[in-house]
Amino acid sequence: MTLRSWLYVPGHRADRVAKALAAGADAVVVDLEDAVPPDQKAAARETALRLAAKGPHDRPLWVRVNDPAGPWGEDDVDALAGLSLAGLRVPRCEDPGLVREVATRAGLPLQLLLESAAGLARAAELATAHPLVAGLGLGEADLSADLRVTGDDGLAWARGWVVVAARAAGLPSPVQSVYTDVADLDGLRASTERARATGFVGRSVVHPRQIPVVHEVFTPTAAEVAAARAVLSAAARAEEAGEVAVLDADGRFVDPAVVRRARLVLDLTDPSEPPTGGTS
C-alpha cells in the first residue's frame, strides 16, 4: 500500500509521540530537527532510540534527523545507524557527496528534503546519489524563504521539478510538504487535491486532525476503483489475445501506460492493508 499520511511529532515530547503512534497516520516521523529546541536535542534523540528498540511497530517509523552538516546531525546519524526504523528523513540536502556519506554510515533508507535553491538545482543528482535514497521531498517553508517567493503559486514549478526528478530516478512519487495552518481544513483539502493532481502521492501532516482530510483525498473513490479494475480486466484479456492494447467495454483505449495508472489507483485503495516502505 502507498502511504498517504506522514505525521510529524516532536521527539522531545514523549507524551505526544505515544499519541502520534495511535493517531491513525500511515507513517509517523519523529522529529529531531525544527520542532525541537536546542537544549532538548539529546532528549529527542533518546526518544527515537527507545522507539527503535521497541520495534517493529504496526506502521512505518521514520526519524527526521538534524542537518548532517550542522552541530547535531552527525550524532543523530551515528546513534540511529542500523536500528529498527523505516528510515531517516534528511533535511537541507544540497550535496550528493554528503548524502552518500550519510547513507553509508546510517545503512537505512533516506528521504531527502530539498529546502534551498541549491538543493533544488541538484535534485536529479541527489536522487541518484546512493541506492539507499528512497525518496525526495520539499521543505516548503525554508524553500520559500530561500527563493523569496511571496505566495503558494511561486512554488508550483519547484513541485513539478521534484516530481520529475523523483520519477526520473525511479523513486516513488514525492510526499507533499506540510500545510501549516492546522485550523484551515478546507485550505488543506484544496491544497492536497492540487498535490494529488500534480503528481504527489501522500502528504506530511503536523496534527492528527489533518489525517482524515489527507486520507480522503488520496484514497480513490469507488468509481475510480471500479474503473481501475475494469482497465486491468481489459488488459488481461488483451494479453490473452497476444495484444498490448485494446478497447475496453466502454470504448476506452487501454495500453500499458493506462494499466500502470490503474495499478497505482488500486495501490492507494485499501487502508486496512498494513502499510510498508516508502517529506517536510
Mean local confidence (pLDDT), 37-56? 93
Q: Does the structure show a pLDDT above 50 at 119?
A: yes
List b or e across 35-48, with b for residues whose CB sees 16 or more CB atoms inside 10 angstroms.
bbeeebbeebbebb
pLDDT band at 247 (very low <50, low <70, confident <90, very high): low
| pLDDT of the residue at 276 | 34
Candidates 112, 64, 113, 108; CA nearest to 86 is 108
As a whole number of angstroms, the distance between CA 116 and CA 141 comes to 10
Biggest CA-to-CA distance, the chain: 67
Q: Does the structure show a pLDDT above 70 at 11?
A: yes
Q: Is 61 helix (H, G, I), strand (E, B) or coil?
A: strand
pLDDT tens digit sequence for 200-236: 999 999 999 999 999 999 988 888 788 878 777 777 8
| pLDDT of the residue at 246 | 66
In which residue ranges of the chain is CATH 3.20.20.60 found? 5-218
Mean local confidence (pLDDT), 234-261? 71
Contact 90, 69 (CB under 8 A): no
pLDDT tens digit sequence for 61-117: 999 999 999 989 999 999 999 999 999 999 999 999 999 999 999 999 999 999 999
DSSP label at residue 175: B
* CATH assignment, 5-218: 3.20.20.60
Average pLDDT, the chain: 90
Q: How far is CA 217 from CA 182, 195, 210, 269, in A?
A: 16, 10, 11, 11
| pLDDT of the residue at 275 | 36
C-alpha cell at 90: 534528511
Query: Count of CB atoms within 10 A of residue 240's CB?
Result: 8
Q: E strands within 121-224? A: 133-138, 203-205
| pLDDT of the residue at 156 | 95
| pLDDT of the residue at 244 | 65
As a whole number of angstroms, the distance between CA 268 and CA 225 comes to 9
- Please state the φ and ψ torsions of residue 268, each to the nearest 5 degrees: -95, 5
pLDDT tens digit sequence for 147-201: 999 989 999 999 999 999 999 999 999 999 999 999 999 999 999 999 999 999 9
| pLDDT of the residue at 278 | 39
Helix (H) or strand (E) holding 58: none
